[in-house]
Structure 1
Amino acid sequence: MPSPSAPASPARKVAVVGAALADCGRVDEATPYSLHAQAARRALADSGLDKSVIDGFASAGLGTLAPIEVAEYLGLRPTWVDSTSVGGSTWEVMAAHAADAIAAGRANAVLLVYGSTARADIKAKRRTSNLSFGARGPLQFEVPYGHSLIAKYAMAARRHMHEYGTTLEQLAEVAVQARANAAHNPDAMYRDPITVDDVLSGPMIADPFTKLHCCIRSDGGAAVLLVAEEYVADCAKDPVWVLGAGEHVSHTTMSEWDDFTVSPAAVSGRIAFERAGVRAQDVDIAEIYDAFTYMTLVTLEDLGFCAKGEGGAFVEKGRLTLTGDLPVNTDGGGLSAQHPGMRGLFLLVEAVRQLRGEAGERQVHKAGGRLPELAVASGTGGWFCSSGTVVLGRG
């Protein structure tokens, strides 16, 4: 095994060799730090590598000097760090940065880790939700109009409905199929089946979103370990290769968003697919950030799985379920499985598990019983403010 500080040749291949979740759902006794540590230990154990190989660390959302404070808690002294924080897409963007650093020889093994007690904190009244997201800077001009985060997503959904005839029933299908996938995930918070009528008849949160159009709130943590190709032979399991990644930022002020029906995934996805040398049509499974049903629908369009405006029809007829044409959010997603805050890292963990054939009852199989070959994880941050897309493959 090479020394963590050994010089390396450029353009090395990069693989995910460790992926794990901390305890998720209702974890009242945990702290964000303990969830970080639990996820990190499990990911390292999953890789079969020793902690001493880690020379890169990426974390965001916790600590006064993130990621330094979390690295210290984990007993790490990295020589490469990243604390990029761009909302839910943070982890796909960090994975892209880590892969670039490893390929260029600036790091050899980078740990990405996240943990949050978002649900327990609310229950214990340790904090309250921030629905305005800023009364200073450019955002201050929207605050008087009540532009909460969900209202911004709701406006975008309404625009898509107006522009392309997308229906409430089609948006509801996203939630119904996410729950159908969650039914096969023993760790999902919500597994009981729901119907389109259940979604439509729920309490209104922000028109057109009823409660079941919105993600759940949970506790939880996740971690992945990316390494240079030289380390793969010493790992416990087959690698999942990072084939391509892209990132893009759009806006924070709604008036600066050119088109409510186009997310920044239209750019990050194009870049990621071009770098991977594949097309959307080649992808077997997709893990897509789904804080709200509209996010899934519009991201599918923008990644190229269907044409702009055709997302409503695309998500019908069970296409997103484990046995559908394009299984999406195979663990149940943020709508049913878990959503502790910035959920992008959970997308990467689930994609890795599916490509390895480790997803248990929810494992996707293609024709002839073969495992999926290609997966895409695409995270969205803010209110379609940022996007990170990563293409992963077994081959």
Structure 2
Amino acid sequence: MKKREAVIVGVADVPLQNGKVTESLSVLQVQARAARDALNDAGLSMRDVDGLLTAGMWGVPGPGQLPTLTLAEYFGITPRYMDATNIGGSAFEAFVAHAATAIEAGRCDVALITYGSTQKSEKSRNLAGRPSVLTMQYETPWGMPTPVGGYAMAAMRHMHEYGTTSTHLAEIAVATRKWAQRNPAATMRDPLTIDDVFASPMISDPLHLLDACLVTDGGGAIVMTTAEHARALGRPPVYVRGYGESNTHWTMSGMPDLARLTAAEIAGREAFRMAGISHDAIDVAQIYDSFTITVLLTLEALGFCKRGEGGAFVSGQRTAPGGAFPLNTSGGGLSCCHPGMLGIFLLIEAVRQLRGECGERQVQNARTALVHGTGGTLSSGATCILSQS
């Protein structure tokens, strides 16, 4: 019997204006728009969907705790495979892996992955600290700003151990903005310099405001099916060649090493092993950029450079357009959008790059892409390696 092979066959995101959805939409409507457009991109309809994967729903309490139930009801479908695993912003890279295994095992034929957020429109983002319950009771009462305080601790530790500087971090923000300037859909497109990053307010030493991601609305969807089905639909498939996931902690006091992303090391190692390729084969990378330090730590953890060498790796605008390492080509969370959980948008950009659909920001001859999501406060990591063939 011929082996079923899972592929991505459709992607879509919802347009934003000044970081908000362009109409007064609920978080369900945002996801419905993205799902409709991704299914159209795939040449499919909602009645074809028998697998549903989603997490989050920023901007809505209550029903958002049971997102697959809520969405299946709203979409009018009865899936035979569901997944609502929530490991933060990396959930969607994990969902691609979970959907791939479900499709290849015959548990579903068409998997729909969605995310929606109206956090900016609803002004629902609360950074005053996570509820002081369970393990958070040991951190929240002491007033650490959430989540930036945890990232600032990691940045300060990396600086102490390896001599990393604020200039190294600012290089990432500036390079990412240069990509955003080539993306008409990006929220922030004004020119940015290292001095501009330093001049922005310090929000948690050593991180400035422009070291931090945006706060926006957003909606995205991904459609997966079999390679055979994609060929029948006449749609260009994007193959899922490798994946991995892991997590190490939730509270910062539980992080094994503030200057090391163990979860990303495990996830990346598994993805490269499964794909059977080396780092040199990656043509374009999309790496979660909740903060500039997230990118630097992840590059080290995934093995693109050694521990402590992330600062040198990103220097000289290496990750900017025209640089040797194209990274976060949409403008990422720092300049394009960050609707609470970014992972699905990294995947959408990777698929578009591999399909040659990115216009001015298109990376020439992009055949293989790495996507890595980070969740929690440097807590979870999930990696996908995608290819044209």
Q: Distance in 2 between matches of 1:144 and 1:202?
A: 28
Where does residue 213 of structure 2 map in the other structure? 215
The alpha-carbon deviation at position 236 of structure 1 amounts to 4.2
| Structure 1: 4+ residue segments shifted above 3 A | none
Where does residue 12 of structure 1 map in the other structure? 4
Where does residue 60 of structure 2 map in the other structure? none
Q: Distance in 1 between matches of 2:38 and 2:383?
A: 21
Query: Does residue 130 of structure 2 align to residue 133 of structure 1?
Result: yes
Where does residue 118 of structure 2 map in the other structure? 117
Q: 2:257 aligns with which of 250, 253, 259?
A: 259
More displaced 10-residue stretch of structure 1: 150-159 or 68-77: 68-77
Query: Does residue 317 of structure 2 align to residue 322 of structure 1?
Result: no
Q: Distance in 2 between matches of 1:110 and 1:226?
A: 5
Query: Does residue 368 of structure 2 align to residue 374 of structure 1?
Result: yes
Q: Distance in 2 between matches of 1:11 and 1:171?
A: 45
Q: Distance in 1 between matches of 2:155 and 2:2?
A: 44
Question: Secondary structure at the residue paired with 2:231?
Answer: helix
Question: Secondary structure at the residue paired with 1:348?
Answer: helix
List aligned pairs for 1:11-160, cutoff 5 A: 11-24=3-16, 25-27=19-21, 29-62=24-57, 63-122=64-123, 127-147=124-144, 148-160=146-158
Question: Secondary structure at the residue paired with 2:67?
Answer: coil
The alpha-carbon deviation at position 256 of structure 1 amounts to 2.1
Where does residue 5 of structure 1 map in the other structure? none
The alpha-carbon deviation at position 64 of structure 1 amounts to 4.4
Give the alignment's TM-score, normalised by structure 2: 0.95
Query: Does residue 274 of structure 2 align to residue 275 of structure 1?
Result: yes
Q: 1:248 aligns with which of 246, 249, 257?
A: 246
Where does residue 3 of structure 1 map in the other structure? none
* 1:131 to 1:376, Cα distance in 2 relative to 1, 3 A: farther
The alpha-carbon deviation at position 316 of structure 1 amounts to 1.1
Where does residue 334 of structure 2 map in the other structure? 335
Contact 2:119/2:125 (CA < 8 Å) preserved in 1?
A: no
More displaced 10-residue stretch of structure 1: 263-272 or 130-139: 130-139
Aligned residue type for 2:224 = L
Aligned residue type for 1:297 = L
Query: Does residue 388 of structure 2 align to residue 394 of structure 1?
Result: yes
Question: Secondary structure at the residue paired with 1:361?
Answer: helix
Q: 1:198 aligns with which of 190, 196, 199?
A: 196
Q: Distance in 2 between matches of 1:213 and 1:19?
A: 28
Q: Distance in 1 between matches of 2:256 and 2:125?
A: 32
Aligned residue type for 2:381 = S
Where does residue 346 of structure 1 map in the other structure? 345
Aligned residue type for 2:336 = A
The alpha-carbon deviation at position 12 of structure 1 amounts to 2.0
Q: Distance in 1 between matches of 2:359 and 2:232?
A: 25
The alpha-carbon deviation at position 383 of structure 1 amounts to 0.5
Give aligned-pair identity as a percent: 46
The alpha-carbon deviation at position 11 of structure 1 amounts to 4.7
Contact 1:323/1:364 (CA < 8 Å) preserved in 2?
A: no
The alpha-carbon deviation at position 128 of structure 1 amounts to 4.6
More displaced 10-residue stretch of structure 1: 48-57 or 279-288: 48-57
Where does residue 360 of structure 1 map in the other structure? 359
Q: Distance in 1 between matches of 2:361 and 2:89?
A: 24
Give the alignment's TM-score, normalised by structure 1: 0.93
Aligned residue type for 1:157 = A
Q: 2:185 aligns with which of 187, 192, 199?
A: 187
Q: Distance in 1 between matches of 2:104 and 2:309?
A: 37
Q: Distance in 2 between matches of 1:248 and 1:191?
A: 34
The alpha-carbon deviation at position 289 of structure 1 amounts to 0.7
Aligned residue type for 1:144 = P
Contact 1:289/1:379 (CA < 8 Å) preserved in 2?
A: yes
